Structure 1
């Protein structure tokens, strides 16, 4: 009999905050709040709530997982700081999951196994953060890239789009005569984050620490600029 696996997962990378408790392949409790702001405030009570609903204490967790990016600076930092704190208190590992890994994991297995998946995230600066997955591959083909829409490569075959810029990228590809499949996986959900973390714990994905993944430097304005 395989040992029980209990994972607490959380995300604040994009325009949503979410948390979930995942036990042996299924989400036992979950919560989410829409909105690009307020993850730092929303996540701690959300985490407490899903642990209570799942009937688990933090000390019973086998791992804590969080999305590391690409995404918004504030939301990423809030989720990662919380994940690291809970993991330290629980004495378990804190596992990092990329935005693209989480978005892809939310797709039906037949879809992600049958076609390539592109995760496309809006930088809010007129560029796309692209993370590509070959058919049936849980690991990305390369680290995320920052590209202008006109710099997007032509897919080698059928491709499904995930992420908050999926609609715009589909239009850009259609202008070249390339059809791409839109999916409903636009924002990460913590249940999918936990599923990716479980693959890492099982050795099916390379280890990744719960540290922020920045593809571009944070957008800051110097005083007097």
Structure 2
């Protein structure tokens, strides 16, 4: 019995197969661009070649629009075809996995566009300009690809910050986060992308094309 886990929320994509005992049986990373749509299915086929996959887990975000859409669609397709349960795992629960004994709140700072940061804290994801990050009321730990910059800015304003070494998600963490949820008796969370910002896509000025006849 093994878990297939996929993450493409950050600067690269990762895929892992993790046994029920927590042992990593397969793990590989790939660049997010170019060619993720073509590369990720090949990596998945290689990972599941040995069989024994019983659950699928995928990161739902927030993060890269292209990475999330690609990895979630692939996870949904594989789980549906194989008749397996699919667990959607947010970025914050994944980052909590390597710190089971952490006694301080963990804030996750993810780099967004236009000089902003997606900040995940207390189960809420919000976007802030770099200079507008909220000051914590107590000692916090920081993780994520924007953690270094966020820690520097907060410390300069007098905040008490513990900087962790978790800058990107290991797909093994995604599998283990899903295991924790299952052990707690929770049902699989829907694998739908989490967007902090509304979509920027706009309808064509002339409207949509008519449906094919």
When the two structures are superposed, what TM-score results if normalisation uses the length of structure 1? 0.82
SS in 1 for 2:89: strand
- 1:207 and 1:157 mapped to 2: Cα distance? 33
Q: CA deviation at 1:82?
A: 0.4
Does 2:159 match 1:170? no
Does 2:144 match 1:152? no
Q: Do the aligned residues in 1 keep the contact of 2:138 with 2:160 (CA within 8 Å)?
A: no
Q: Do the aligned residues in 1 keep the contact of 2:8 with 2:14 (CA within 8 Å)?
A: yes
- 1:215 and 1:10 mapped to 2: Cα distance? 21
Alignment-derived partner of residue 67 in structure 1: 59
What's the CA shift string for 1:53-84, capped at 9, x where partnerless? xx22xxx4221111111011111000000000
Q: Are residues 202 and 117 of structure 1, via their aligned partners in 2, closer, same or farther at CA, if it must alter by over 3 Å?
A: same
- 1:37 and 1:217 mapped to 2: Cα distance? 25
**Structure 2 residue corresponding to 1:203, chosen from 177, 184, 187:** 184
Superposed CA RMSD in Å reads: 2.1
Corresponding pairs, count: 204
Alignment-derived partner of residue 46 in structure 1: 43
Paired residues for 1:63-102 under 5 Å = 63-102=55-94
- 2:60 and 2:45 mapped to 1: Cα distance? 21
Does 2:16 match 1:20? yes
Q: Are residues 124 and 49 of structure 1, via their aligned partners in 2, closer, same or farther at CA, if it must alter by over 3 Å?
A: same
SS in 2 for 1:144: strand
Q: CA deviation at 1:150?
A: 3.5
When the two structures are superposed, what TM-score results if normalisation uses the length of structure 2? 0.86
Q: Are residues 43 and 215 of structure 1, via their aligned partners in 2, closer, same or farther at CA, if it must alter by over 3 Å?
A: same
Greater C-alpha Rg = 2
Q: Do the aligned residues in 1 keep the contact of 2:17 with 2:47 (CA within 8 Å)?
A: yes
Consecutive unaligned residues of structure 2, counting only runs of 5 or more, are 206-213
SS in 1 for 2:134: coil
Q: CA deviation at 1:46?
A: 1.4
Consecutive unaligned residues of structure 1, counting only runs of 5 or more, are 133-140
Q: Do the aligned residues in 2 keep the contact of 1:104 with 1:185 (CA within 8 Å)?
A: no
Q: Do the aligned residues in 1 keep the contact of 2:6 with 2:57 (CA within 8 Å)?
A: yes
Q: Do the aligned residues in 2 keep the contact of 1:68 with 1:211 (CA within 8 Å)?
A: yes
Q: CA deviation at 1:169?
A: 0.4
SS in 1 for 2:124: coil
Alignment-derived partner of residue 188 in structure 1: 169
Alignment-derived partner of residue 109 in structure 2: 120
- 1:88 and 1:166 mapped to 2: Cα distance? 36
